Homo-oligomer: A and B are copies of this chain.
Amino acid sequence: MAFGYIGSMRTKPGHRDDVVAILTRGQGLREAGCRLYAVGLDPEDQDKIWVSEIWESAQHHADSLQLPETKAAIAEAMPMLTGEFTGQRVEIVGGLGVS
């Protein structure tokens, strides 16, 4: 079953665009089994970024976190984040654009 992840992160003031640039690079994601990695801004909160992800499976998602490019992106972004995250795991069952 495809795995969905909906999350948000808060950036330190003035760094949202820097973090967006890192997230939208998406190096190696497709090869790692990612179908969607949508990055978006919260229209009512200038320091908040949302991501909506779809992966082949939860295992593909977990494995991707061990990739060098993922670890490098996280290390690059972390100093610009406050540490406030939300995350929701979803079991994707279908719908337009999912497969």
Contacts and interface: CB of A to CB of B under 8 A. Distances in A.
Interface of A: 4, 6, 20, 23-24, 26, 29-30, 34-44, 50-52, 54, 88-98
Contacts of A96: 26, 29-30, 34-38
A12 B56 CA distance: 29
Contact of A97 (B38, B42, B43, B93): B38
> Mostly helix, strand, loop or mixed at chain A's interface?
strand
Given A96-B30, A96-B37, A97-B38, A89 B20 contact: no
Contacts of A97: 34-38, 54, 97
Contacts of A40: 4, 90-93
